Amino acid sequence: MRFGILGTADIARESVIPGIRKSDHEAAAVASRDHERAERFAEECDITEAYGSYEALFDADIDAVYNPLPNALHAEWSERAADAGLHVLCEKPLTTTADRTVDLFDHCADAGVTLMEAFMYQFHPRTERTREVAVEELGDVRSVDATFTFRLPGPPDIRLDADLGGGALFDVGSYAVSAARGFLGEPDRAYAHFADTRDSGVDTDVAGLLEYDDGRTARVAAGFDTAHVERYRVEAVDGFLEARDCFAPGEREVAMRYEVDGRRVEETFDAVDQYEREVEGFAAAAESGSPPRVDRAETLGNVRTLDALRESAAEGVPVDVA
C-alpha cells in the first residue's frame, strides 16, 4: 500500500513514516499548504513526491492517506480523501464530536473506503494481554484509574488552540478514556472538571469520573502541566493489574504486573514498533474489506464518552453517555 501524508506533523516524521517503512508498505508522497515545507519534509523523510496543497496529494499514485492534521481538520480532509477513493488512517480523535464522527464513518462507507482512527497503543501486545488478563485471570473488576499527563511548552502550539480542536482531553485524555473503556466497557454517566491554566481557551488539566449503573467506576486524568505519566491500574475483588508507560512506550522491552489472591505475576514484552503494527493492521483491513481493530464501534464509544465529559465540565453536573 502506498501512503500519502497530509501535512508535515512531527508524529508523521518521527513515528508513523518510520512505521510504514518497517512494514511492507510505502510512504510515497507528502503534501503541505507550503510547497517548500513539503519539499523539505520529503527530503528529510526520503519521500519522492511533494505537493504544495492537500488537494494535489489526492491525484498522486497512492492508495491511502495518513491524516495527522489538527483535530478540527480531521473530518474535512478525511472526507476529501475518501471522495478520491483513498483509504484513511486518521489521528485521534477522529473528529471532535460524536455526531461528526458518525457522519465521517457514513461518508467513508458510502465511498467504499476503510477509515480507522490511529490509536496505535491498541496494537501493542501488552495492551492485548492486559485486557486478556482482566477477563481470564482477575475476578470481578470494580474500578480503573488511567492517567496520561506531560508538561507542554508554552504557546504557540496547536494543542492550545481552541479553533483547531486543542485541549488535553482530546490530546492525551482520549487515551485514558480508551484504556478505561477497554477494561470496563461503555460507561453510563460521566462527570468532569476542566482547568485552563494557560488562559488559552482550552482545557489544560482534566479530571474525570466514569460511572456504571452496577457501581463500577473509572477515574481518568489528563493534562499539560505536570510530569510525564502514562499508567493504568485495574482493581478487582481478588487483585489488581497495572501497566506504566502504557500508551507510548517507545521501542523497548516493557512489563505489566498483576496479582490474584496474593499471587503476583510480572510479564515482560519484547520491544516492538506499535506504529508498524498499526499500519499493518490498517492496511490488512483495507485490502480485505474487513473492519479494522479500531473500528466504528470502538471509535464512537470513545468520542461519546469524550462528549459527555466535555458537557459535564461545562455544566458542572454528571451527564449521561449517549
* Residues annotated as catalytic (active site), given as ranges: 92
Ramachandran area for residue 166 (φ above 0: left; ψ -120 to 50: alpha; else beta): beta
> How large is the C-alpha radius of gyration of the chain?
20
Of 282, 228, 264, give the one whose Cα is nearest residue 116.
282
| SS3 of residue 303 by DSSP | helix
CA distance 148 to 297: 23
Is residue 114 within 8 A of residue 108, CB to CB? The reply is yes
Q: CA dist 56 to 4, 31, 46, 51, 84, Å? A: 11, 8, 19, 6, 11
Of 219, 217, 262, 214, give the one whose Cα is nearest residue 238.
262
CB atoms closer than 10 angstroms to residue 317: 9
Helices (H), 210-295: 274-288
Q: Strands of the chain (E only): list them.
A: 2-6, 26-31, 49-51, 64-67, 87-90, 115-117, 141-149, 189-195, 205-211, 217-223, 229-236, 239-244, 254-260, 263-269, 319-320
Of 186, 189, 181, 188, give the one whose Cα is nearest residue 146.
181
| SS3 of residue 95 by DSSP | coil
Provide the 8-state DSSP code for 250: -
| SS3 of residue 181 by DSSP | helix
310 by Cβ neighbours in 10 Å (0-12 / 13-18 / 19+) ranks as buried
Task: Extract the C-alpha cell encoding 6.
Answer: 497530509
